[in-house]
Structures are given as structure tokens and as C-alpha cells.
Amino acid sequence: MDEIQMTPPLDEAEIRRLRVGDWVSLTGTIFGVRDATLIRIFDKGQRPPVDLRGGVLLHTAPNVRRAGDRYEAVSVGTTTSARMERFTAGLLREHGVRAIIGKGGLLAGSVRAMQEYGGVYLSIVGGAAAWETTHLEEIEAVHWEDLMPECLWQFRFRDLGPLLVSIDSHGESTYARITETARERLSGLIEKGAGGEGAPDRGAPSGGR
């Protein structure tokens, strides 16, 4: 399969060329963030100690081993993105982030923000940390170490991919499409009933004695 090779920092034109269904591979600096990191930036109002413009973020909190004054990776994987939904617009608008790598997808607010500011969501296989770690070259720096393991991680990856473009900058989301299909099929399954069994008589809510 052909992967589009990309090297951060990324500009808007590169991002706008990507479409849902494309496969991407990334080489270069990728910043690891998650709940506590983003809460610090947005809810506690602290400026990140690094410039995130054109940057690629990874929703993560790795397992690491201390080696002198540095950290070595034990296992770097990806966490569920939906928890960080409310931070997407701010990351794109105020910090110039161009791509977020995550698993499980983001919701409608993020799809709109990506369309408006020029961003993409790249799906990686959640739980595939052994695979992901083999693409990691180095932990370049660790900012906000007091948030361990939810620090602001600065990783260098080589050929991290294939990553699937699942939310693009044109308002398309694979997750939204799959969810819509699943809801339609769910209605069909409920109507059909198990083994031809019809719908039950309507019952009063539980709560008696």
C-alpha cells in the first residue's frame, strides 16, 4: 500500500491535500500529550514550553525507563482520543497544531475545527504499542516532568505508519460515517428481534418493590 510520507512541521497546503482514506507515514518530531497535559495548557492557562506550530500530536502516555538524565522508551502506545475532544479547536486555532494521531476518533466539534483551521486526525491501531515503539527513534525531550506519565513528550519517530486519515480538513470523518451505518443497522436488528421474536409489550419503568 502506498503511504504518503510526511515530515513535520506540516503546512496547511499539505494538510488540505489529504483525504479520508489516505494512508500516511510520518518521520520527525511528534509531541505526546493527553488529559493532564491539555488540562494544564487550557484549564490552567500555562503556555506549552515548546512551539507546537505545524506540529503533530500523539495521544499517549508512555512507559519509560530513566537512563541518567534522559528517558528511554519501554512502551509507547496510543490512548483514546475522545476524552480530549474539547481541546482540539484550541490546539489548532491557538497553537497551530496540524495533525493529531490517536485512536477511537474525535467528534463533530473536532471535525469542524479541522475543516476551519486545516487539520487532520490520523488513526493508529490502539493497543499496538510494541509495533509503535519499533518506529520510535528517541525521546528527544520531556517537558512538564511533574505530570509523569502525562508529561509533554517530544518524540522522534521514523516511518510511523501506516496511519489512516480518518478525519480530513474537508469535513469528512470515517468515524461519523461508520457510526451512522451502525445506527441504521442497529434499528434493523432491533425491529427484527432475536430469532424472529417480536418487540415486547411496553412495560412500566422498573422501580417497584
Asked if 197 touches other proteins (CB under 8 A), the answer is yes
Asked if 111 touches other proteins (CB under 8 A), the answer is no
Asked if 46 touches other proteins (CB under 8 A), the answer is no
Of the candidates 54, 125, 138, 172, which one interacts with other proteins according to CB under 8 A?
A: 125
Q: Which is nearer to other proteins, 115 or 133 (CB)?
A: 133
CA dihedral (6, 59, 126, 185) positive or negative? negative
Asked if 196 touches other proteins (CB under 8 A), the answer is no
Of the candidates 156, 162, 171, 172, which one interacts with other proteins according to CB under 8 A?
A: 162
Of the candidates 2, 44, 47, 65, which one interacts with other proteins according to CB under 8 A?
A: 65
Of the candidates 25, 37, 88, 166, which one interacts with other proteins according to CB under 8 A?
A: 166
List residues binding other proteins (CB under 8 A). Answer: 1, 21, 36, 60-65, 74-80, 82-83, 103-105, 123, 125-131, 133-134, 148-149, 162, 164, 166, 174-175, 177-179, 181-183, 185-186, 189-190, 193-195, 197-209
